[in-house]
A = this chain, B = another copy of it.
Amino acid sequence: MKTRDKILLSSLELFNERGERNITTNHIAAHLAISPGNLYYHFRNKSDIIYEIFQAYEKLVDYYLEIPENRPMTLDDLAFYLESVFDGLWSYRFFHRDLEYLLDSDLRLRRDYREFTNRCLAAIDRIFGKLAEAGIVQAQPDDLRSAMSLNVWLVITNWMAFLKTAHASEEPSGLSLGELKQGIYQVLTLEVPYVTPEYRDRVLALREKYRPTLPETGVVDG
């Protein structure tokens, strides 16, 4: 593998494991057993590394969220979207953690991420639309639907942060893809009230697959 690609891969790995803030370019170089000079031969600065990683993330999610226009949407499609989006979130999980700082320090990223968010929201909105067409959920007025889509986005992008704080007392980074996907339970919770009676059981069954089993994620009555 090319050094350049190794740098991207290691950076992503280290960022995910320990957070972008805790990983310096020197750490990355040391991890790869290359010199800092070598790293800076391939990338002008740390921001460029992050930006390139973001572009891969963006590409992945865009790919996952392609909506078939030539056939009705199925529940399996929905399950696939949810699984895929959470897979993406997992693979690039460092990104949302330090999002605000990253956007503050890189104009390109700021612009691109904004567009990315809009594309995701539009995709979620279209998914709702196609679910309604397929008779899986009840059709809703446009403004309610887009507000719902936004809530789905908020739940998805914040789920990881919540899990991290819920797990807070244990050793850091004790977080698995499986637990992350319990976020799907939360997303489907948003849709429950809109599901048509015919699909209700099937949606609830899908949701049940992701029900959290750990006490941390439940509400503690006080």
Which of A31-39, A74-82, A182-190 forms part of the interface with chain B?
A182-190
| A100-B19, A122-B219, A189-B148 as given contacts; A158 in contact with B165, CB under 8 Å | no
A86-102, CB under 8 A of B: which get 1 and which 0?
00000000000111110
Q: Is the CB of A158 within 8 A of B154?
A: yes
User: CB-nearest residue of chain B relative to A172?
Assistant: B104
Q: In the complex, how many angstroms separate the beta carbon of A51 from the nearest chain B beta carbon? A: 14
B117 to A166, Cβ gap below 8 A?
yes
* A97 neighbours in B (Cβ, 8 Å): 100-101
Residues of A in contact (CB 8 Å), total 54
Q: Which of A1-9, A40-48, A53-61, A108-116 contacts B (4 or more CB under 8 A)?
A: A108-116
Which residues of B sit under 8 angstroms from A21, Cβ to Cβ?
21, 101
B169 near A114: Cβ-Cβ < 8 Å = yes
| Cβ contacts A122-133/B at 8 Å (1 or 0 each) | 100100000000
A200 an interface residue at 8 Å Cβ cutoff?
no
Complex CA distance for A23 and B155, rounded to whole angstroms: 29
Q: Is A159 an interface residue (CB 8 A)?
A: yes
Q: Judge if A151 is at the interface, Cβ distance under 8 Å.
A: yes
In the complex, chain B residues whose CB is within 8 Å of the CB of A100 = 19, 97-98, 161, 164-165
Q: Report if A186-B154 is in contact (Cβ < 8 Å); known contacts: A114-B165, A118-B219.
A: yes
- Contact between B153 and A154 (Cβ–Cβ < 8 Å)? no
Question: In the bound complex, how far is the Cα of B166 from the Cα of A150, in angstroms?
Answer: 12
Q: A144-B192, A151-B189, A186-B154 are in contact. Are A219 and B165 (CB under 8 A)?
A: no
Q: Does A146 contact B (CB under 8 A)?
A: yes
Whether A69 is near chain B, meaning CB under 8 Å from some CB there, is: no
Closest 10 CB pairs of A and B: A193-B193, A158-B158, A146-B219, A147-B189, A110-B168, A114-B168, A118-B220, A154-B158, A121-B219, A122-B222
